[in-house]
């Protein structure tokens, strides 16, 4: 188990987000009525790889149902990971109701956004046990 504390600290630092940025404190209801999502010039890459998403511009109105479709590897999941700040964009920005998600604390952002994954997740036990 020696050596894992450094990895745990690195993971905690990564989840906390980049240092030095001022975070907005958001009320828990900041997106309760839905949000206008706007993506401007978004470019994302993973370590040592080519851009997975390049120069994406799009917008969705509050409560609009949107499906993102495309071939395997075209960046659908990466786009959503950038929205949740699981990956940070190389350039561009994601706005929710006009607020740049880069300035919103991770916990507040992730509490406010729901995501339906590509693959279903099955839980063991009863529904009651999983609530």
Q: Is residue 32 part of a domain?
A: yes
Q: Is residue 96 part of a domain?
A: yes
Dump pLDDT digits (tens) for 36-48. Answer: 999 999 999 988 8
Q: Is residue 54 part of a domain?
A: yes
Dump pLDDT digits (tens) for 87-96. Answer: 999 999 999 8
The pLDDT of residue 26 is 53
Q: Tell me the average pLDDT of the chain.
A: 79
Cβ contacts of 113 within 8 Å, gap of 6 or more: 31, 83, 84, 96
Tell me what the mean pLDDT of segment 50-63 comes to. Answer: 92
The pLDDT of residue 1 is 43
* Confidence band of 61 (pLDDT split at 50, 70, 90): very high
Q: Is residue 21 part of a domain?
A: no
* Confidence band of 104 (pLDDT split at 50, 70, 90): confident
User: Domain total for the chain?
Assistant: 1
Q: Which residue has the higher pLDDT, 1 or 71?
A: 71
Q: Return the CATH number at 96.
A: 3.40.50.300
Domain that holds residue 104: 26-130
pTM: 0.65
Tell me what the mean pLDDT of segment 74-92 comes to. Answer: 91
Which helix or strand (DSSP H or E) is residue 77 part of? Answer: helix 76-83
CA atoms within 13 A on the CB side of 37: 19
Q: Is residue 55 part of a domain?
A: yes
């Amino acid at each position: 188990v020696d050596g894992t504390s450094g990895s745990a600290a690195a993971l905690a630092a990564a989840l906390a987000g980049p240092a030095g940025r001022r975070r907005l404190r958001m009320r828990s209801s900041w997106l309760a009525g839905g949000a206008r999502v706007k993506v401007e010039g978004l470019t994302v890459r993973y370590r040592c790889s080519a851009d997975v998403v390049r120069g994406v511009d799009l917008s969705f109105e509050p409560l609009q149902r949107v499906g993102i479709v495309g071939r395997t590897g075209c960046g659908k999941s990466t786009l959503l990971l950038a929205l949740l700040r699981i990956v940070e964009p190389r350039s561009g920005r994601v706005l929710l109701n006009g607020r740049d998600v880069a300035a919103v604390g991770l916990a507040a952002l992730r509490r406010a956004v729901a995501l339906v994954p590509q693959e279903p997740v099955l839980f063991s036990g009863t529904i009651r046990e999983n609530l």
